């Protein structure tokens, strides 16, 4: 089809299906008016668009400000504080020495239990001559007086053990007895 045939077909369809008058007038009026955004966005929609754009600008400004701050990029913030007291406020050194002794003892006790391989709960049956312990399976464990003295000397055994006391026997990985502690609970 060429241009003449299209024009004829258009004119023919216009005559067959005429458009209402108000639509014709509206199309002709819009063609005469210059382009204006108000035709597409009436007053309230303009206000909504302006508000949305303002919010977008504020969010963008806040985001760029937080990215430029030096604290936001650092992983940790170090603060150094120096305390200077007066001579009459100096702490009592003997109190700190006592605390240090307690901490050292607790540390050595924990270190001894860290090297422990396994332990058994037992009851001291008698301590005349050789020390005899009976574990929960009625297995008898005999400890020589020399070993008990060594354990007590190195503070790895309680000196106040009496017959009938429940204890925990701690052994190293080679099966040697390294510590005897008094148990508060009767586990057998």
Q: pLDDT digit string (tens) for 27-44?
A: 787 777 666 666 666 777
Does residue 129 lie within any of the structural domains? yes
Say which residues have a Cβ less than 8 Å from residue 78's Cβ, sequence separation at least 6: none
For 168, the domain range is 99-182
Phi, psi of 135 (to 5 degrees): -85, -175
Which residues make Cβ contacts (< 8 Å) with residue 50, sequence separation at least 6? none
Mean pLDDT of 118-131: 78
Q: What is the pLDDT of residues 134-183, one digit of tens each?
A: 888 888 888 888 888 888 888 888 878 777 788 888 887 777 888 888 87
The Cα–Cα gap between 157 and 23 comes to 109
Taking residue 177's Cβ as centre, other Cβ atoms within 10 Å add up to 18
pLDDT of residue 64: 81
Nearest to 167 by CA among 101, 122, 100: 122
Q: Is residue 9 part of a domain?
A: no
Higher pLDDT, 104 or 185: 104
Instruction: Tell whether 1 is covered by a domain.
Output: no
**Residues 170 and 111 grouped into a single domain:** yes
How many structural domains are present in the chain? Answer: 2
């Amino acid at each position: 089809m060429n241009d003449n045939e299209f024009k004829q077909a258009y004119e023919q369809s216009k005559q067959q299906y005429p458009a209402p008058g108000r639509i014709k007038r509206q199309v002709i009026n819009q063609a005469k008016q210059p382009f204006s955004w108000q035709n597409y966005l009436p007053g309230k929609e303009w206000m909504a668009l302006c508000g949305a754009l303002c919010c977008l600008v504020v969010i963008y400004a806040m985001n760029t400000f937080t990215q430029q701050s030096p604290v936001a990029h650092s992983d940790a913030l170090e603060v150094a504080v120096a305390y200077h007291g007066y001579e009459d406020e100096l702490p009592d050194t003997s109190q700190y020495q006592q605390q240090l002794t307690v901490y050292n003892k607790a540390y050595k006790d924990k270190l001894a239990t860290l090297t422990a391989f396994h332990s058994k709960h037992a009851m001291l049956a008698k301590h005349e001559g050789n020390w005899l312990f009976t574990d929960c399976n009625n297995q008898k464990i005999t400890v020589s007086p020399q070993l008990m003295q060594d354990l007590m000397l190195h503070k790895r055994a309680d000196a106040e053990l009496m017959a009938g006391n429940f204890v925990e026997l701690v052994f190293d990985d080679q099966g040697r007895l390294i510590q005897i502690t008094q148990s508060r609970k009767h586990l057998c």
